[in-house]
Structure 1
Amino acid sequence: MKLIFSEYSIILIFLIISFLLSSLIFILSYFITPQKADQEKVSAYECGFNPFDDARATFDVRFYLVAILFLIFDLEVSFLFPWSLVLGNLPAFGFWTMVVFLLILTIGFIYEWYKGALEWE
């Protein structure tokens, strides 16, 4: 048990210091900044102009497709980074598995591009 604590004690100390520092900054920002609320501060802000429509209005499906593409390629990068770090130690199966993964993502991206999901009218 002593060995485990000695290895992870630095992480625990880091978490405690970061919690204390963030709490201190939060408390100081509350006391230092002025707390006067005016009409401009409490008004609704939406992309630089006043809201003009119902909040339940439907969005174009392209917004969702671009968001899904962003998530897909963001996850792709999160898989590629650790894979690239251990690439020299991987057998051929590990290499070709990632190649198939990238190929599937590339086919999906080409399909989205072909269907016009990335074009704005």
Structure 2
Amino acid sequence: MFLIPVLFASILSIALLGVYFLTYYNTESGLEEKMTPFECGFDPLSKMRTPFSTRFFLLVVLFLIFDVEVALLFPVLSAFYSTTSTSLLLALLLFIAILLFGMFHEWNEGALDWVSG
């Protein structure tokens, strides 16, 4: 009973390693480029001190902030589902109001406008 999944996993691992070695060593063109690390969409062979878009950086930071705060809403919503209390509802509404105020402030400041100067 235990032998069949182990045998299947072993055969699949050997087959995938074989495909990797067959495709990796048979490609002569671009082998040096394939061996370079790839990180964040930047070309590792270019100059490291190229200018970086601050608008893109600000948009990424805003996305991370709102993503983390939305992830914090899930435990509150599950607690609200199990017990309905007025203080929990007020805390949830205050949290959402702060999120909306922050988003509207960033929108008013122009941080979310990608095409503006």
Same fold at TM > 0.5:
yes
Equivalent residue number for residue 119 of structure 1: 113
Change (3 A) 1:53 1:99: same
Per chain length, whose mean CA-contact separation is higher, i.e. which structure has more relative contact order (CA < 8 Å, sep 6+)? 1
Task: Write the deviation string for residues 45-86 of structure 1: whole angstroms up to 9, x where unpaired.
Answer: 785xx7785222231221121111211221122122222222
TM-score computed with the length of structure 2 as normaliser: 0.62
Change (3 A) 1:68 1:41: same
TM-score computed with the length of structure 1 as normaliser: 0.61
Gaps of 5+ in 1: 1-20
Identity among equivalent positions (%) equals 30
Equivalent residue number for residue 74 of structure 2: 81
SS in 2 for 1:112: helix
Match of 2:28 among 21, 38, 46: 38
Q: Cα RMSD over matched residues?
A: 3.3
Gaps of 5+ in 2: 1-8
